[in-house]
Amino acid sequence: MNQIKWIIFDLGGIVVPEVGKLIRLKIANELNVSEEWIKETFISYQRQLMTGSLTLLEMYSKITKELSVNISPDHLLLEHLNEYKKYTLTHNKDAVEYIAALKKDYKVACLSNLEIEIHEICSKTGLYSYFDRVFLSLELKMQKPDLNVYLKVLEELGCKPDEIIFTDDRIENVNAANKIGIHALHFSNLDQLKTDVDKILSGS
3-state SS track over 113-148: CCCHHHHHHHHHCCHHHHCCEEEEHHHHCCCCCCHH
pLDDT < 50 regions, the chain: 1
Evaluate the omega torsion of the peptide bond into residue 73 and state whether it is cis, within 30 degrees of 0: no
CATH class name, domain 6-16+91-202: alpha beta
Ranges of each domain in the chain: 6-16+91-202, 20-88
Q: What is the pLDDT of residue 41?
A: 97
CA–CA gap between residue 24 and residue 175 (Å, rounded): 26
CA–CA gap between residue 51 and residue 3 (Å, rounded): 32
Identify each DSSP E strand in the chain by its residue range: 6-9, 107-112, 133-136, 164-168, 183-186
β 6-9/164-168 pair status: parallel
Do the beta carbons of residue 189 and residue 169 sit within 8 Å? Answer: no
Amino acid identity, position 54: L
pTM of the model: 0.94
